[in-house]
Amino acid sequence: MKNPVRKSIDLLVTTILWVYFIFGFLVFFLPFYLAAYVRKEGRELRYQHLHHLFFRGFFGLTRFLIPSLTIEVDPQVRDIRSAILVCNHISYLDPLLMIAAFKKQKTIVKSTFFSVPVFGWLMKHSGYVPAVGKGVSPWEVLHRIMQLGDYLTTGGNVFVFPEGTRSRTGEIGTLARGAFEVALRSRATIKVLLVENSNDLFRPGTFLFNTAIDRPIRLKLVETLNPDYEDEGFSVEALMETVKELLDRETGCVK
């Protein structure tokens, strides 16, 4: 049980960060998004860059407000280009951390988010891919996936959390095929990443940021996989099993 003073500090910091999310976007970033919309050519990349700057600002503000917080991104991660990034998922902050780490990024997002006012519009014009679901045409999803190959050749990265939802225990859940099908279709390199301790900053089941965090948030490279997609023995299932084994090993959840 937190003492009242610590809980009050958590509430204050959480409020400031939400103010940044809402008013920082409306006042400082929305004009740039509107300006970026004017010319269609290059719009996706401009939006992705703005997302990157916005969330770098968010984590910079978070570190300022919580002096005990450190965020360590492996230099090898920052240098990644033209790859499918497969990562574990332990906090709502994980996608924000990935966007902050990469200037050019796309991801696969739950289709319901595309119906959220403003937020959905931004994701659509950023080239993000909706997962097949209610209200989303499978043909639209296929069209966007088909474009990812060209996007990867320009140096962009596609990050995916193949578990599909956050793990509350840290154990790696069942992996979905989507990310690996995208890799197969794009003949892409796969970078297996691991995020650590983001769930200490914003814990599942709570609304407040934890200002007493005493462990660094880390984003590191676990392995680089270059599957031989042309090999007759290649299978998506085997690739998924390899990735799960790597993540299980890194999280200490090997059974």
Number of structural domains found in the chain: 1
Retrieve residue 199's tokens. Answer: 């769930």
**Strand order through the sheet with 71-73:** 71-73, 217-225, 189-196, 83-87, 157-160, 105-109, 129-130
User: What is the value of pTM for the model shown?
Assistant: 0.93
Distance CA 11, CA 196 (A): 24
The domain that contains 43 carries what CATH number? 3.40.1130
Which of 51-55, 138-142, 169-173, 215-219 is predicted with the least confidence, judged by mean pLDDT? 138-142
Task: Provide the residue range defining the domain that includes 14.
Answer: 4-251
Task: With beta carbons less than 8 A apart as the criterion, state whether 141 and 69 touch.
Answer: no
Q: What is the pLDDT of residues 59-117, one digit of tens each?
A: 999 999 999 999 999 999 999 999 999 999 999 999 999 999 999 999 988 888 888 88
Q: What is the pLDDT of residue 130?
A: 85
